[in-house]
Amino acid sequence: MNFELSPEITAMCEAVTGFAQRDLTGPDSFEPIDFRRRWELAGKQGILGATVPTQYGGSGLDAVAAVALMEALGSGCADTGFAFSAAAHLFACLMPITEFGTEEQCRHWLPRLCSGELVAAHAITEAEAGSDIFNMSARAVRDGDHYVLNGTKVFTTNAPIADVFLVQAVTSPGSGFFGVTAFLIGAATPGLRVGPPYAKIGLRGSPTAEVHFADCRVPADCVLGGEGAGASVFTGSMKWERTCLFGIYLGAMRRVLDSTIVYAGERVQFGSPIGEFQAVSHRIVDMLARLESAALLLNKAAVELSRGGNCEVSAGLAKIAVSEAAVQIGLDAIQLRGALGVTAGDAETLLRDAVPSRIFSGTNEIQKNNVARALGLGRKRR
């Protein structure tokens, strides 16, 4: 496969890296006013709607270009949490609307979501329905031309600042895959309440919270993809998220690897730069090998997605490879810096931000289950 990018995409990525370095890096915490300021800038730059068709305000990029764009964003934006929020907004929310929304829904929501005027959040995970997603307890009952939603979602990215929620709820208990329905619900809808932001080990610049629904009445025309299509909407969102979002980590790893190489060339011990010692240089080579291997797997998945293929295996393998590489490169970068590695800096930040990547978008153990099932192995889905 040819992973060489066109001159136009290459120039776009260079511009995004410079823009992110200049305008998107913020505090290692969530501050609503500053988050909105940077969010609107990211929208004007075209990041928030990168893969959305141009007729709805996006840039119409394919998955290969999207991975390159996310890598550029991750490289330039030291606040990986903010970059993660932008990617979750685009791939877990806007792409499902693009693929499953009616023309009216697309025209109503997408232009303002692409421009940065609005923020989206995908609410699906529950306390007892994480990996076992079809065990969710949230219910939506039809009542005339409305649905009434009740339940609680947890670990919802962007919830504290979201203007619209893509929500999954059971409409037909016992029907499994076809018993779940997706809804587009405005944040101001009565009966919808967002809890306080979580304190997290990493991705602190990305606000995450619980979302509560108490007799929340939603018009029937807010259903996305039709009743019973919620699982398909979720599967579609994960296809994009598992493939494209992880480009952010490629960029973050490359940024930290570059700074580690510089450090190894400048730090002198026993009369020589530590990069001259094999124990150091070989570890850096291992870091590069992990990064490049993960990048190849991720780009392979992006090519398959761009071609409309079934990328379940390639996306699962790529998600595992990128997340595990990010954690190990974070550990290596800290180790090579010695005591400086455990103080505030890009190495310890990468490690903190990398740890959640093995969990979100489906844990790495679940990815292995998915790949094994695609190979005809493992337990069958009920």
Rounded Cα distance, 82 and 344, in Å: 18
Q: Just list the catalytic residues.
A: 241
In order of 18, 71, 98, 216, the CA distances from 143 in angstroms are: 51, 45, 27, 11
CA-based nearest residue to 310, from 250, 246, 242, 357: 242
Find the helix or strand (DSSP H, E) in which 123 lies.
strand 120-123
Alpha helices in the chain (DSSP H): 7-23, 32-44, 63-76, 80-89, 95-100, 103-115, 230-240, 247-266, 278-306, 312-337, 346-354, 364-374
Amino acid letter at 212? H
Rounded Cα distance, 111 and 68, in Å: 23
Residues 6+ apart with CB under 8 A from 240: 51, 63, 91, 92, 95, 305
The three-state secondary structure class of 378 is coil
Find the helix or strand (DSSP H, E) in which 185 lies.
strand 180-186
Rounded Cα distance, 125 and 123, in Å: 6
Burial of 133 (0-12, 13-18, 19+ CB in 10 A): middle
